[in-house]
């Protein structure tokens, strides 16, 4: 178990902490994407849909986290050949998957923190609503991680991965009624 935890921690360090430490400007994208739609929906609805917009921001952050895993995995696989090293090492597949997925959540902490403060101020969720929302966010994240891992196996170039990631994130988080009620 201790070895498994170290393998997960190594994945987190390689995939998120290194980038956040050395290139802090990339964190702006994780914060600005969900907040930009939140601001637009709030202005368009004259503040009436701020609760839905905050929840949609959470969903968009979680989905983008899982989908950005596709680009990261493609980069590590194709450019650094890290996946070849991981496969030949004693790292278990579950430790690799868990570490890479958790790294994306850690990378999204700034956006999630801003959205959590906004949710506490504007939505005031009770314990049951909080649990329900966390369940939805977790399921959305799992679906996007699965999709991101699957697509990363087919991509042969990092540019292709980023294009798919952005396209799918936009389609899944803006076209469905995430930021606005279906009515």
CA angle 3–5–6, rounded 5-degree value: 65
Can you state the percent helix, strand and coil of the chain, rounding each to 5?
A: 85, 0, 15
CA distance 37 to 53: 7
- Asked if residue 83 lies in contact with residue 89, where contact means CB atoms within 8 angstroms, the answer is no
- pLDDT of res. 1: 65
- The mean pLDDT value of the chain amounts to 85
pLDDT band, very low/low/confident/very high, at 181 (cuts 50, 70, 90): low
Give the sign of the dihedral formed by CA 69, CA 71, CA 76, CA 78.
positive
User: Per this entry, what is the length of the chain?
Assistant: 183
pLDDT band, very low/low/confident/very high, at 22 (cuts 50, 70, 90): confident
Mean pLDDT across 165-169: 84
pLDDT digits (tens, 9 = 90+) for 108-131: 999 999 999 999 999 999 999 999
Q: Model pTM?
A: 0.85
């Amino acid at each position: 178990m201790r070895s498994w935890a170290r393998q997960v921690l190594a994945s987190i360090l390689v995939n998120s902490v290194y980038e956040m430490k050395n290139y802090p400007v990339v964190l702006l994208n994780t914060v600005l994407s969900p907040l930009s739609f939140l601001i637009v929906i709030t202005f368009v609805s004259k503040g009436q849909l701020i609760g839905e917009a905050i929840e949609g921001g959470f969903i968009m952050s979680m989905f983008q986290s899982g989908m950005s895993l596709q680009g990261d995995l493609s980069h590590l696989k194709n450019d650094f050949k890290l996946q070849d090293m991981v496969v030949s090492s004693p790292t278990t597949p579950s430790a690799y998957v868990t570490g890479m997925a958790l790294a994306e959540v850690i990378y999204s902490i700034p956006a999630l923190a801003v959205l959590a403060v906004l949710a506490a101020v504007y939505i005031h969720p009770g314990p049951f609503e909080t649990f329900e929302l966390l369940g939805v966010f977790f399921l959305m994240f799992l679906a996007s991680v699965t999709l991101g891992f699957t697509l990363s196996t087919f991509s042969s170039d990092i540019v292709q991965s980023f294009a798919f990631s952005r396209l799918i994130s936009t389609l899944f988080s803006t076209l469905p009624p995430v930021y606005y009620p279906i009515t």
